[in-house]
Amino acid sequence: MPLMTSSEYIESLRKQKKRIFLAGELIDNYVDHPIIRPSINACAMTYELSHQPEYEELLTTTSSLTGKRINRFTHLHQSTDDLVKKVKMQRLLGQRTGCCFQRCVGFDGFNAVDSVTFEMDQELGTEYNKRFREYLKYVQENDLVVDGAMTDTKGNRRLAPSDQEDPDQFVHVVERKKDGIVVRGAKAHQTGAINSHEILVMPTQTMREQDKDYAVSFAVPADAQGILYIYGRQSCDTRRLEEGDVDVGNAMFGGQEALIVFSDVFVPRERVFMCGEYKYSGALVERFAGYHRQSYGGCKSGVGDVLIGAAQAVMKMQGLEKASHIKEKLVEMIHLNETIYSCGIACSAEGKPTTSGTYLIDLMLANICKLNVTRFPYEISRLAQDIAGGLLVTLPSEKDFAHPEAGPLLEKYFRSASSYSTEDRSRIQRLIENLTLGMGAVGYLTESMHGAGSPQAQKIMIGRLANLDYKEQIARELAGVKKGN
C-alpha cells in the first residue's frame, strides 16, 4: 500500500481492540479521548509531513528491502546521509509538534535488531535476521507505527532478572512451543505505546546464562491477546478535560507513556528474533541505546526551538526587546540548543556500516549527545522561566478571563505591550508552562533526563569508549615519559 495519510493513520487505530486503563477506568474509545488524542495528533504529524513535497526528502526514502518508497521511520539506515537526515527530520517534527512524536523508539529498535540478528545468524546459523527482515517488510509496506519496548520494571535493582523475588519484573519466556513462545512481564515508560500498531520487544540489559529466558526479542500486534495498557499520568493532564484551550498551553499536540503488561502472550515463531542467546543481549542494548541517544539530538533541539521562540515572544509582549540581559539569555539558550543538535549531527556523520549493511552511529559521540541532553534542556527551561516571569505560575484560569466581573479586571491588569492582546500573552505563558512544568515537560525535561538511559548510563559508556590508555600513551610520548608499571 502507499504511504498512509494522517487521517488514515488515525482511522487505522480505531480498528484495533486494545485494553487501556486511564485514571482507574477501562477506556472504550481512546482515539477520541481528550487526554489521549493530542498524542495521536503528534504521531499523525509523521504521516502528514511525509505527503508534503518540501519535506519528502526528509520524511521518506527508498527501502533497502523492497525498493519501494517508504516512511523514513520504517527504514534501515544505508549511509551516513540517512543518519543525518534522521536527525534533521526529528528536529523538524519537534518544531512542528512541540512534544514527543513517538515513532523514534521503534525506528531505533529496527536498526539495532537488524544488525545484531544478522551477526547472530552468521555466528550461530540461526534465521533471526531473515525473520526480522520479513517482519520489517510488512511494517514498511503497511506504514505502521511500532513501539520499541525495552525498559523493564526491574524490581530490586541490585538483583539480576533470574534472582528477583517476582520473576515477572523482567519480560521473559515462560513456555516454548513448536510454533512459538509464550511471554510474561511488563515494559514501563512506553512512549506512544497505545498509538502503535505493533510492539517490538527487546531485552533491557546484558543478560547472564542463568538469565537466558529474559534474553528475548519479538514483535506482536499492539492489540494481541493478553496485552493490557495502563496510561501514565502527566502533570496538568486533566486541563484537557476543561472547556477552552488556553490553559493547556499546547492544545493540539502532546506525548504519552504507558505501562504494557504481557500476561502469557503468545508470539508466533516467525516473530521471534532472539530467544535465549544471552551473549548477544548486551550488543542489542548498546546499539539501540546509541541510536536512541542520537535521536535526542534531533527531537530535543526541535522542541528547544519552540521554547526559544516562546521566550522571544513573551519578551516582546512584555516590552523587553531592548533589554540586553534578555538578549543575552536568548543567545545562551540558542547556544545550548545548537550544541545538542551538533552532537546529533556529529555522531551521524561519523557513522559506519555494520556487517548487515545497516549503518551505526558513532557510539561515543551519541553518548556525548545524550549526556548533554540530560543537562542543557534544564538550563534552557530555567532561562525561559526567567524571561517569562512570575506570571508563568500565577496566571488565573481561562474561566476567570471569561467571567463577567473578573474577566475585565484581568484584561486591564494583565495587559502589557499594546500591540499584543492579553489572551496572546496568556497563550504564550501557558506554552512555556507546558514545556517546562506541565504536560510537555514529560517529553522535554524528564525524557531528556531518563529517556535512552539516565546520565549514569551515558557516563559508563563514555568511560568504556574513551580509549584512555591511548590518550595516556600519546601524552607520555610528547612529554618524553616512559610508561611505568
The active-site residue, picked from 60, 97, 117, 191, is 191
| 182 in a structural domain | yes
Overall residue count recorded for the chain in this entry: 485
Percent of the chain with pLDDT over 70: 99
Single pTM value for the model? 0.97
The active-site residue, picked from 60, 229, 257, 343, is 257
Question: Where residue 184 sits, what CATH number does that domain have?
Answer: 2.40.110.10
d(CA 73, CA 266): 27
The pLDDT of residue 20 is above 70: yes
Both 207 and 293 in a single domain? no
Query: What pLDDT is recorded for position 482?
Result: 87
d(CA 305, CA 326): 17
Measure the CA angle with vertex 15, ends 11 and 16; round to 5°.
Answer: 120
Beta strands in 16-89 (DSSP E): 20-22, 25-26, 60-62, 69-71
Q: Give the type of residue at 89.
A: M
Residue 106 CB contacts under 8 Å (≥ 6 apart), including other chains: 73, 145, 146, 147, 148, 196, 198, 200
d(CA 194, CA 135): 20
Both 270 and 348 in a single domain? no
d(CA 177, CA 198): 22
Measure the CA angle with vertex 426, ends 423 and 432; round to 5°.
Answer: 145
> Could you confirm whether 104 is annotated as catalytic?
yes
pLDDT band at 375 (very low <50, low <70, confident <90, very high): very high
Is residue 389 within 8 A of residue 162, CB to CB? The reply is no
> Could you confirm whether 236 is annotated as catalytic?
no
d(CA 270, CA 273): 8
| 44 in a structural domain | yes
Both 359 and 374 in a single domain? yes
The active-site residue, picked from 43, 100, 275, 343, is 100
Residue 61, number of CB atoms within 10 A of its CB:
23
Q: What is the tens place of the pLDDT at every residue in 219-255?
A: 999 999 999 999 999 999 999 999 999 999 999 999 9
The active-site residue, picked from 299, 343, 347, 369, is 299
Question: Where residue 393 sits, what CATH number does that domain have?
Answer: 1.20.140.10
The active-site residue, picked from 47, 74, 292, 436, is 292
d(CA 50, CA 287): 27
The active-site residue, picked from 104, 343, 347, 369, is 104
- Domain, as residue range, for 331: 283-473
The pLDDT of residue 365 is above 70: yes
Is residue 315 within 8 A of residue 385, CB to CB? The reply is no
| 299 in a structural domain | yes
Both 142 and 233 in a single domain? yes
> To the nearest 5 percent, what fractions of the chain are helix, strand and coil?
55, 15, 30
pLDDT band at 485 (very low <50, low <70, confident <90, very high): low
Query: Residue range 335-354: average pLDDT?
Result: 98
The active-site residue, picked from 30, 291, 296, 341, is 296
> Could you confirm whether 296 is annotated as catalytic?
yes
Query: Residue range 411-439: average pLDDT?
Result: 96
Percent of the chain with pLDDT over 90: 99
> Could you confirm whether 398 is annotated as catalytic?
no
Q: What is the 3-state secondary structure (H, E, C) of 96-158?
A: HHCCCCCCHHHHHHHHHHHHHHHHHHHHHCCCHHHHHHHHHHHHHHHCCCEEEECCECCCCCC
d(CA 443, CA 96): 14
| 454 in a structural domain | yes
Bridge partner list, 20? 229
d(CA 191, CA 33): 17
Query: What pLDDT is recorded for position 2?
Result: 80
Both 266 and 302 in a single domain? no
Q: What is the tens place of the pLDDT at every residue in 100-124?
A: 999 999 999 999 999 999 999 999 9
Both 263 and 292 in a single domain? no
d(CA 43, CA 284): 26
- Indicate the residue among 222, 255, 278 that finishes a domain: 278
Query: What pLDDT is recorded for position 122?
Result: 98
Averaged pLDDT score across all residues of the chain: 97
The pLDDT of residue 484 is above 80: no
> Could you confirm whether 51 is annotated as catalytic?
no
The pLDDT of residue 71 is above 80: yes
- Indicate the residue among 261, 278, 295 that finishes a domain: 278
| 483 in a structural domain | no
Straight-line distance from the first to the last Cα atom of the chain, in angstroms, rounded to the nearest whole number: 65
d(CA 251, CA 270): 41
d(CA 7, CA 40): 11
| 347 in a structural domain | yes
How many domains are there within the chain?
Answer: 2
Query: What pLDDT is recorded for position 407?
Result: 98
Both 262 and 292 in a single domain? no
pLDDT band at 483 (very low <50, low <70, confident <90, very high): confident
- Indicate the residue among 251, 278, 305 that finishes a domain: 278
Reference 74, options 143, 130, 9, 133; nearest CA is 143
> Could you confirm whether 48 is annotated as catalytic?
no
Grid coordinates in use for 156? 530490586
Both 86 and 17 in a single domain? yes
Phi, psi at 265, each rounded to 5°: -85, 130
| 356 in a structural domain | yes
Both 237 and 320 in a single domain? no
| 480 in a structural domain | no
Q: What is the 3-state secondary structure (H, E, C) of 167-227?
A: HHHCCEEEEEECCEEEEEEEECCCCCHHHCCEEEECCCCCCCHHHHHHCEEEEEECCCCCE
Both 249 and 370 in a single domain? no
The pLDDT of residue 1 is above 70: no
d(CA 344, CA 422): 38
Both 293 and 371 in a single domain? yes
Both 287 and 272 in a single domain? no
The pLDDT of residue 88 is above 70: yes
